[in-house]
């Protein structure tokens, strides 16, 4: 009797399992074999590409004609372009970072940093170029009038909300954001900006064609030379003047990469001054990039003051906006690319 009962229970259990598996809404997927794992992206795609493919990728955006005059206006031997990327908190906002320590440190650029920098430029009587994300200008609308009231400074495009264009990787969306940025700053300035600097200095594969089509005079995002050059697109001249930047002459790696823990601004002053001295020796171009939320602090404005004083002491320095330098160099391109 016990053996018969056990056999009956075993049969009933098997039937229950089969019935459950075939019932409507049963989890059939649980019975299916596991899907094969997705193929991992190739970390070294370049090793299998032809030289022609590599050349096309390398020179999609490239350095063209070198634009280095024998001398600068007024018989000067070096051109100095001071520039400020007025990002404030837009990079954090673009990434959805609502850490209010980070946001307030960005806000410092509008509250104290920019006003202090403008006072210094007034004192030294030198012009500068300010590249402003459109959202930054909308969140702090007094900035543009304050800059323009000096009647010597320039304002250029720096994206909509400091978006990273290679991450966006969307041609139509990038075009929309560029159009919005131009429209916003044009309305705030009363004239269309002529200069472009990519957010985070990073182009996507669509950026150069869009910047060219928008009719900009110059770009200041690339690093192929210390001196200015014409940008090529797929090996062909664009007529765009490039005023190159470089991380060495940028305050962000020193003051921003480690939460402002650089032990002494003196070390940064030494780098900036040495780069200028060689540019002076070579009769070249010196582009310095700063950010009001970094350089606008007290001890850092103090080293900028000393740097400008050092430049003046050397003599033969043309302090100019990016726009004025680009206009001067544009003539070297000839009628073919104007």
What are 17-63's pLDDT values in tens digits? 444 444 454 454 455 666 777 788 899 999 999 999 999 999 999 99
| Cβ partners under 8 Å of residue 338, min gap 6 | 239, 330
Low-confidence ranges of the chain (pLDDT < 50): 1-2, 5-6, 8-23, 25-26, 28-29, 335-338
| 3-state SS class at 84 | strand
Domain with 146, as residue range(s), is 52-68+78-337
| 3-state SS class at 241 | strand
Does residue 23 fall inside a structural domain?
no
Taking only the tens place, the pLDDT of each residue in 171-183 is: 999 999 999 999 9
Please give the Cα distance from 201 to 287 (Å, whole number).
14
- Give the per-residue pLDDT at 224: 98
Does residue 277 fall inside a structural domain?
yes
How many domains would you assign to the chain?
Answer: 1
Does residue 6 fall inside a structural domain?
no
Taking only the tens place, the pLDDT of each residue in 296-316 is: 999 999 999 999 999 999 999
Q: Is 251 exposed, middle or buried (0-12, 13-18, 19+ CB in 10 A)?
A: buried
Does residue 62 fall inside a structural domain?
yes
- Give the per-residue pLDDT at 335: 43
Please give the Cα distance from 195 to 193 (Å, whole number).
6
Pick from 299, 300, 280: nearest CA to 290 = 300
Helices vs strands, H then E, count in the chain: 15, 10
Residue 175 phi/psi, 5-degree rounding, is -65, -40
Does residue 9 fall inside a structural domain?
no
Please, what is the average pLDDT of the chain?
91
Q: Is 313 exposed, middle or buried (0-12, 13-18, 19+ CB in 10 A)?
A: exposed
Beta strands in 77-182 (DSSP E): 78-85, 129-132, 154-157
The CATH number of the domain where 291 resides is what? 3.20.20.370
Does residue 26 fall inside a structural domain?
no
| Cβ partners under 8 Å of residue 295, min gap 6 | 84, 113, 117, 251, 255, 301, 304
Please give the Cα distance from 90 to 157 (Å, whole number).
14
Angstrom CA distances, 281 to 80, 227, 277, stand at 13, 13, 6
- pTM for the predicted model, two decimal places: 0.87
Does residue 220 fall inside a structural domain?
yes
Does residue 1 fall inside a structural domain?
no
Beta strands in 127-258 (DSSP E): 129-132, 154-157, 195-196, 218-219, 229-233, 236-242
């Amino acid at each position: 009797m016990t053996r018969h009962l056990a056999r009956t229970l075993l049969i009933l259990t098997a039937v229950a399992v089969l019935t459950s598996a075939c019932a409507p809404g049963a989890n059939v997927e649980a019975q299916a074999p596991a899907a094969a794992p997705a193929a991992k992206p190739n970390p070294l795609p370049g090793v299998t590409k032809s030289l022609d493919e590599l050349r096309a990728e390398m020179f999609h955006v490239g350095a063209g004609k070198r634009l280095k005059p024998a001398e600068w206006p007024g018989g000067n031997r070096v051109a100095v372009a001071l520039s400020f990327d007025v990002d404030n908190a837009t990079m954090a906002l673009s990434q959805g970072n609502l850490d209010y320590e980070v946001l307030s440190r960005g806000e410092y650029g509008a509250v104290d940093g920019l006003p202090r920098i403008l006072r210094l430029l007034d004192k030294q009587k030198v012009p500068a170029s300010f590249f402003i994300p459109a959202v930054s200008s909308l969140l702090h609308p007094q900035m543009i009038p304050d800059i323009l009231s000096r009647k010597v400074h320039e304002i250029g495009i720096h994206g909509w909300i400091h978006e990273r264009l290679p991450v966006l990787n969307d041609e139509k969306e990038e075009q929309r954001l560029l159009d919005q940025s131009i429209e916003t700053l044009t309305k705030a300035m009363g004239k269309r900006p002529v200069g472009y600097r990519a957010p985070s200095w990073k182009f996507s594969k669509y950026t150069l064609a869009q910047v060219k089509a928008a009719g900009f005079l110059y770009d200041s995002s690339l690093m192929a030379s210390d001196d200015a050059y014409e940008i090529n697109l797929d090996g062909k001249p664009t007529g765009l003047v490039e005023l190159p930047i470089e991380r060495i002459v940028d305050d962000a790696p020193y003051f921003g990469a480690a939460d402002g823990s650089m032990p002494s601004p003196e070390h940064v002053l030494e780098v900036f001054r040495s780069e200028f001295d060689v540019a002076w020796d070579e009769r070249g171009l010196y582009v310095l990039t700063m950010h009001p939320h970094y350089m606008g602090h007290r001890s850092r404005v103090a080293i900028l003051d000393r740097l400008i004083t050092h430049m003046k002491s050397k003599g033969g320095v043309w302090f100019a906006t990016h726009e004025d330098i680009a206009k001067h160099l544009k003539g070297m391109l000839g009628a073919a690319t104007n």
